[in-house]
Chain A
Amino acid sequence: MVATSWKKETKVSGTLKNALAEIVGSEHVSTDEEDLVVYSEDLTCEEACKPDVIAMPENVEQIQKIVRLANKEKTKITPFVAGANMGGLTLTEGGIILDLKRMNRIIEVNEKAMYTIIEPGVTFGQLEGALKEFHPSLRFSYPNSPPYTSALVNTLLEGLGNLSLKYDATASLLNGLEVVLPTGELAKIGSCAISKYWFSRYPLPDLAGLFIGWQGTTGIATKGSVALLHRPKFRDLFAIGMFNADNFSNLAIRISRADIAEDIEPMSFDLVRAQIEKYPLKQYPGNFEVLFFVTISADLEKEFKLKQEILNEIVKSEQARGMKGLVFAVDADNKRTVLDLPGNMIFKYIDHKEGGGCTWVGSYIPICQWEEGYKRGKKIMIDHGFSPTIMMRAMNGSHYAVLRFILPFNKADPKDVDSVRKCMVELTKLVLELGGIVYKTPKRLGKLLWENADPGFIELLKKVKKMLDPNGIMNPGKLCF
């Protein structure tokens, strides 16, 4: 990545602050020490990094002006909405934090074509609240993240949602974008570049890939169109408790191939226990190892019951083939915890160590490596003194899977911070060894991701980055190649 000579001083020049104030208004710019501190850290174990200034634009024109100013001043820009990112992607040493909260309009919902155009400050909670009130037949694919996280940012970071079994990572639901490039120009991507409808990225050259998965380093999305999905009438959660982690991928594959589920979400039993019990978790022999949750939905009761029957048949068949597991009933409250997203599941385990810190090593992994990744990852977590709180999800028809090692930790304990960092290194190495890809990688671990990457791929990425961002101002350091 091209580096330029950054402004190294920690106090931003009065010129820059004044120039930003002229763009967004002085009440929307801050260099107050306490503001810089609040934006300098997040819930992860990444080092605190103090920006120089916070600016809160309200519209596209203001963002363009700020970007041009940043190029002129050779000052970096880091976009921010919720700051709850597990990769520490909003932490920046120096430069401008561009807090996009004020850009939180749901601009349009096209109910028939099933998409919505949203600004980056629109959160999952806001989106679901609006859909439930005004368009109750529609929903989005929601992750297990807090409701106050950006829907558009999640799609750009290729996040997973509760409908990813059918619709893949949320990036697949992106129909189009409006972006401010790192040089200040405005561009539309997808059908919206030609048509007044933001219905698809096809059949055009798909430039969305210049902004998806780049961790905020190639531009600032000012609008995005995401596909909305049908909200079915019948929906329920079924649970299979497995006594070992030997073959849950088989079950996922069979359920996926039968096309009866909208979500398959296995998780370690300890992740469930961590929602009720504080650290440390006592281990009891004979407990479940993995809880395998399946969400089934349908519009007709007949169809719903049939899907349930098929699920039961598949489970019986897998049991006959040696799967050590059984179906068990989940009470209504706990069902809601899994089914109702945006929801509160994460809050039930995030405080497991009562420490104000949580991070993870999250990955997309070939489903054929699911069990081994789980077992070896579990050992790594236990060896480093963490409860093995592991969340998984079958993605895109079980073509691949999520393997996420969740690490609540105590921010106030330097030893625990050190342990979690070391644990993350080993877990990252494990994922890469098994052929998986870590996502939302903090820069501390980015080098591991890229060190064995195809040189041609890296070269191409660098060319694209240089082309889009010749001065290297956009969220530098977050790609690590």
Chain B
Amino acid sequence: MSLDEVKDWLHRCYRCGNCKLFWGIFAPSCPSGEYFHFESYFPSGRIWIGKALHNEEIKWSPSITKKIFACTLCGACSTSCKVDMKDHSADILEALRATAVAEGFGPMGEQKRFTQSIEKQHNPYNESHDKRPSWLDSSGVAARSDKPTVLYFAGCTSSYRRPEIASATAKILGKAGVKFIVLDDEWCCGSPLLRTGQRDAAKKQAEHNVELINKSGVATVVTSCAGCYRAFVKDYADKLGLQLEPEILHITQFLERLLNDRAIESPSAIKGLKVTYHDPCHLGRHCTVYNPPRNVMKATGVEVVEMGRNRENAWCCGSGGGVKSAFNDMAVKTAALRMVEAEQTGVETLVSACPFCKHNLLDGAKEAKSRIRVIDIVELLAQ
């Protein structure tokens, strides 16, 4: 995507400031703006930078790259924007990132490293591709069904950094009698590449996954990762022109279905537990999946005490959009603010539904010296 494709929108931002706060509750909404403070780190500032670049008032530079890539792409700005710009601000940022890459000014150095890792090892963590299914071996669950109905897509973070999430998911599926498989050769969904303006590189990953998934013959693909979920349900078709044949569900949606069908029981250990829930941006704001995780917890006797900023007004964990790699301090400080907010609910457990959120929120908990336990919803149910 180029700036030319969005040129009709570059002058349409008024810098009214709505993108700086959540509408209605008027609490801060922009992680990079709150961290760096300058106007250029807020969405309106980036749009005006885009306008200045397109009008050739300024030229690409490392400092511009920094501002463009310091955004987690959480989408809070689009939710609060009250003019037609709201439907185009994400496109403008994507165009800026793609242009930065095309002009040789992006992505950030640390993001280039994960790009190379994905291209070589099909994961952003520079871990061996062969080790990807290791989590399954230690889960004690077999995922080799003869007539599988479900394909579980673990994703990179669950496979390499938060294997407890993948294990817990597999255990729940196994207990529920779900005939599921995992891909023999699962690659990165491509989301980190898409988010950093590298659409062509993302397509290579996606094409591989689409071929294998469509060949599998399953009716349903389930993933624990909000990022993978968003990539499958939105980006593969809209941005890459690829069609996944099975139904795509996030694990929370699948769990809701299992509970409704009484295929799983609520663990007695969690009945009456009070938790707070962090809406992952890719699941919530981007794909409007707010109720299934809440319904799952309610059905299992867990009481959700909402944070002030929840659902479409959820504060981002701080790690998306390539920010965790290139701006780790910002990511951790953003997560720390979320943990402070969680503490205000008075609960002892924060539940989320994305391994990348959990990963960064744990770092945030350390930063904030928070005693709140951070777990994924599947870990809650696997107790």
Instruction: Determine if A128 and B40 form an interchain contact, defined as CB atoms under 8 angstroms apart.
Output: no
Assess whether B39 is in contact with A38, with CB atoms less than 8 Å apart. Answer: yes
> Does B171 sit at the interface, judged by CB under 8 A?
no
A55–B67 CA distance with the chains assembled, in angstroms: 17
Contact A32-B63, Cβ < 8 Å, known A56-B37, A129-B25: yes
Q: Would you call the interface of chain B mostly helix, strand, loop, or mixed? A: loop
Q: How far is the CA of A279 from the CA of B24 in the complex (A)?
A: 28
A364-B26 Cα distance, complex, nearest whole Å: 30
B15 beta carbon closer than 8 Å to chain A: yes
Pairwise interchain contact A146-B11, C-beta atoms closer than 8 A: no
B13 within 8 A of A: yes
**Is A354's CB within 8 Å of the partner chain B?**
yes
Asked if A470 lies at the interface with its beta carbon under 8 angstroms from chain B, I say no
Interface stretch, picked from B44-52, B183-191, B233-241, is: B44-52
Of A11-19, A261-269, A342-350, A456-464, which binds chain B? Answer: A342-350
Question: Which residues of A sit under 8 angstroms from B82, Cβ to Cβ?
Answer: 344, 347-348
Q: Which residues of the partner chain B approach A146 to less than 8 Å between Cβ atoms?
A: 16-18
Interface bracket on A:
35 or more
Determine whether the beta carbon of B26 is less than 8 Å from that of A129.
yes
C-alpha gap A28/B308 in the complex (Å): 29
A99 touches B37 (CB 8 A): yes
Q: Please measure, in the bound complex, the distance between the C-alpha atom of A41 and the C-alpha atom of B39, giving whole angstroms.
A: 12
How many positions in chain B have a CB within 8 Å of any CB in the partner chain?
A: 33
Is B14 in contact with A148, judged by CB distance below 8 angstroms?
no
Min CB gap A350→B, angstroms? 6
Do the beta carbons of A347 and B38 come within 8 Å of each other?
Answer: no
Chain B residue with minimal CB distance to A340?
B24
Q: How far is the CB of A117 from chain B (nearest CB, A)?
A: 19
Compute how far the CA of A83 lies from the CA of B20 in the bound complex, rounded to whole angstroms: 13
Tell yes or no: B269 within 8 A of A by CB.
no
Mark interface residues in A83-107 (1 if CB within 8 Å of B CB, else 0). Answer: 1100000000000000101100000
Instruction: Quote the shortest CB–CB distance from A90 to chain B (angstroms).
Output: 11
- Cβ contact of B52, chosen from A30, A37, A43, A126, cutoff 8 A: A37
Report B-chain residues with C-beta under 8 Å of the C-beta of A133: 308
Inside 8 A of B84's CB, which chain A residues have their CB? 351, 354
Residue B287 at the chain A interface, CB threshold 8 Å: no
| Distance (whole angstroms) from the CB of B339 to the closest CB of chain A | 20
Which residues of A126-141 have CB atoms within 8 Å of chain B's CB atoms? 126, 128-129, 133
* A34 and B12 within 8 A (CB): no
* Chain B contacts for A355, CB-based, 8 A: 11-12
Task: Indicate whether A39 sits within 8 Å of B39 (C-beta atoms), given known contacts A148-B17, A350-B83.
Answer: yes
Flag if A34 contacts B58 (CB, 8 Å). yes
B39 touches A412 (CB 8 A): no
- Write out the residue numbers on chain B whose beta carbons fall within 8 Å of the beta carbon of A41: 48
The verdict on B57 contacting chain A, using a C-beta distance below 8 Å, is: yes
A residues sitting closer than 8 Å to B (CB atoms) are 27-28, 30, 32-35, 37-39, 41-43, 54, 56, 82-84, 99, 101-102, 123, 125-126, 128-129, 133, 146-149, 342, 344, 346-348, 350-351, 354-358, 410-412
Q: List 5 A-B contacts (CB under 8 A).
A: A33-B61, A56-B38, A84-B14, A348-B82, A350-B14
Apart from A32-B63, A35-B39, A356-B12: 10 A-B pairs, beta carbons within 8 A: A33-B63, A34-B61, A37-B48, A39-B39, A54-B38, A99-B37, A147-B26, A148-B20, A354-B12, A411-B11
Chain B residues packing against A (C-beta within 8 Å): 11-18, 20-21, 23, 25-27, 36-40, 45, 48-49, 52, 57-58, 61, 63-64, 67, 82-84, 308
